Structure 1
Amino acid sequence: MIADRFPPCVKNVTDRTSNPFGLRPPFDRSDPGDRTAVFGYGDANADFHVVGDYPGVHGGESTGIPFTETESGRAIQDVVRAVDFASGPTERPTLDNCFLSYVHMCSLTDGQAPTAEDYATLERFFDAELRAINAHILLPVGERATDRVLREYTTQRRRFDLDMASLHARDIRGRGFLVVPIRDPLEWEDREREAIVSKLEAILDSDYRQTKGVATLVG
């Protein structure tokens, strides 16, 4: 099993920022000129892991970098930059203490959305990479990613109706993670950008690194 290669609580030694664990997509349905897949990207030893849906929504089919190209993707990258996780070019940023990836990494033709079967096919790849990064804070963006993260990495999915407006920038304890959902930027209202930036700043000011495994904050 892929995940068995990456024992938990062991930090990675790699200088690769794109697809650091060499995952291979199980299928290629991309349009001509697009990347077969938009692999995970960033600091493989990050404490913060931002999880998007798929390239057609959050971008990267041409650049190969998550959270580029689309309006929604650029808005998330703007948040990441606001807390000094990212610097450099927008289309290929330098990331520190932050990793970006998608629940469904493969590109699809003609703007198609992944089917339930497509998500299921890539489930083990996403899980292996997430556990290999072993971040303290999971930041799922949008309903699909939030549902996936809450179901698989917390015991609290049954408590929530996936009302992203109420879940946005909220602390949810997970099994070894703290989960902070992010409403998709295309749906942001009022001060929702400021809310997630403030939440991240508060976490960074806390002793979150001391709480890995119990997923609580001491601040």
Structure 2
Amino acid sequence: MSPDLPDPRNPYSMDEDCQNCPALVESRTQVVHGYGDPTADIAVLGTAPTASADRTGIPFTGDETGEVIQALLGDLGLSDSPPDSTEPALSEVYLTYVTRCHHPERGATDEERHNCEGYRTAELRRINPELIVAVGQGALDALAFEYTTRSADDLDVTVEHATTIQGRGFEILPMIEPADASESQLATFREHVADELDRDYRQTKGQRRK
């Protein structure tokens, strides 16, 4: 990441004291906004912060899921940090979630997802990535209506895992939640992302902009 870029933690200065969802205000440690390179061509979108991300304040850190994602990024040459880093040194990658607050006993409600939609939409529009890795069904569902020609009912992350879906202005790479994926499935996904980078992104890198 260039030293001229802003701090990777919440580089767009989104509201760190959001009060839109009273139950989540009570349950969270902090709001977990995006982290990484704000000029990234690759965004990694998860469903919601885990307990570990709630503690660190950085998406995909502090637990096994985070280590799988960080190891993947390292294998692809997109991270210079060990998989267990809580402040990864990323290049061309931005990490974020559909919703920004952790609840220890349940997933987000429809209203809570709606309340967070503006944050996600603003980030993706400002980053304007070429590739979005959608980690889990929740992330894939969030992208379906606005960013693809397919409905959420037509998208199953298990079926679409390690494939490419053409979005509006970018490509979506669905990924099964690491906790639910076998070593073979993770290896297949890694190979697919590497192929996409070699075929498309690295060939056109720097030709378009933001």
TM-score w.r.t. the length of structure 1 is 0.81
Q: Structure 2: state its 5+ residue gaps.
A: none
Partners of 2:113 and 2:197 lie apart in 1 by 32
- CA positional deviation for 1:55: 0.9
Match of 1:97 among 75, 81, 92: 92
1:106-145 equivalences in 2 (<5 Å): 106-108=101-103, 110-145=104-139
How far the C-alpha of 1:36 sits from its partner, in A, is: 1.6
Q: Which amino acid aligns with 1:23?
A: M
8 Å Cα contact 2:74-2:81 kept in structure 1? no
How far the C-alpha of 1:184 sits from its partner, in A, is 0.6
1:20 to 11, 18, 23: 11
8 Å contact kept, 1:56–1:113? no
Q: CA deviation at 1:207?
A: 3.2
Residue of structure 2 in register with 1:29 after alignment: 25
Paired residue type of 1:48: I
Match of 1:198 among 186, 191, 203: 191
1:7 aligns to what?
Answer: none
CA distance in 1, matches of 2:10, 2:91: 16
CA distance in 2, matches of 1:126, 1:145: 11
Cα distance between partner residues in 1 of 2:205 and 2:149 = 18
CA RMSD in angstroms, aligned pairs only = 2.2
Match of residue 35 from structure 2: 41
SS at match of 1:79: helix
Using structure 2 for the length normalisation, give the TM-score. Answer: 0.84
Say if 1:164 and 1:183, in contact at 8 Å, map to a contact too: yes
Cα distance in 1 for residues equivalent to 2:193 and 2:15:
32
Instruction: Report the Cα distance in structure 2 between the residues aligned to 1:72 and 1:56, rounded to whole angstroms.
Output: 9
66-75 vs 176-185, greater mean Cα deviation: 66-75
* Structure 1: distance between partners of 2:115 and 2:39: 26
The count of corresponding residues between Structure 1 and Structure 2 is 195
